[in-house]
Chains A and B, each alone.
Chain A
Amino acid sequence: NAGVTQTPKFQVLKTGQSMTLQCAQDMNHNSMYWYRQDPGMGLRLIYYSASEGTTDKGEVPNGYNVSRLNKREFSLRLESAAPSQTSVYFCASCPLGDSNEQFFGPGTRLTVL
């Protein structure tokens, strides 16, 4: 099992450009999450999805959109990137119920110039 995978690993954007961060998990987990990690701020939840077809806002959803394409995939889109979105983005999945352990991807380091 690959666990949680994310693409790309690194990305540099110019202000106003758009891009989609991809996340996939092969553990048959129902729940998936997108976080951003900033120095001194810890991990903050952007969006999450309890199951295919459902998404909910987290703590910092502004400037982002998400799509739960199927049970495996959960993508994060920046429509018009801003320098404030420079961060490391982590995707995670969780089985919920039996275990509330979240499994994290390796992260995407995004820089917006």
Chain B
Amino acid sequence: AQRVTQPEKLLSVFKGAPVELKCNYSYSGSPELFWYVQYSRQRLQLLLRHISRESIKGFTADLNKGETSFHLKKPFAQEEDSAMYYCALMNYGGSQGNLIFGKGTKLSVKP
């Protein structure tokens, strides 16, 4: 079954420390993965997608098909990175594509 797992509900780091938000997935086909972010009192928005292989706000994520992972990383966390982060998998099993979200990880960056 298609599934996205984010093992950490809460991740707390100090400013300037590296951060890694974990995401593992289960999917029978070729996966298409995303990271979405929700800052306090803002709407959910796309942070990055694996096919773009881009770095947004200093964040990167590499798809590892062998480990079925798509971890989000940033070398030096900033206080403004504090937010809720969701990993999502594109599911083409139905009549169209729809996203399967993980349960989210709340990142708290302390000064």
Please report A residues at the B interface, Cβ cutoff 8 Å. 31, 33, 35, 40-45, 48, 50, 54, 56, 58, 90, 92, 94, 96, 100-102, 104-107
Contacts and interface: CB of A to CB of B under 8 A. Distances in A.
Contacts of A107: 43
A101 B97 contact: no
B32 interface: yes
B22 interface: no
The interface centre, meaning the residue of B9, B43, B45, B90 with most chain A CB atoms within 10 A of its CB, is B43
Interface string B22-58: 0000000000101010000001111001000000000
B96 interface: yes
A54 B95 contact: yes
A102 B99 contact: yes
A105 B101 contact: no
A104 B44 CA distance: 6
A104 B36 CA distance: 11
B12 interface: no
How many B residues are at the interface, by size bracket?
20 to 34
Contact of B32 (A58, A90, A92, A100): A100
Shortest 6 CB-CB contacts between residues of A and residues of B: A42-B103, A50-B96, A104-B44, A43-B101, A42-B101, A104-B43
Interface of B: 6, 9, 32, 34, 36, 43-46, 49, 86, 90, 94-104
A104 B45 contact: yes
11 contacts: A42-B102, A43-B44, A43-B86, A43-B104, A48-B98, A50-B95, A58-B98, A92-B44, A100-B97, A102-B99, A105-B43
B96 A31 contact: yes
A102 B94 contact: no
A48 B90 CA distance: 14
B2 to A, nearest CB: 11
Nearest to A48: B98
Given A40-B9, A100-B32, A45 B43 contact: no
A52 B45 CA distance: 24
A33 to B, nearest CB: 7
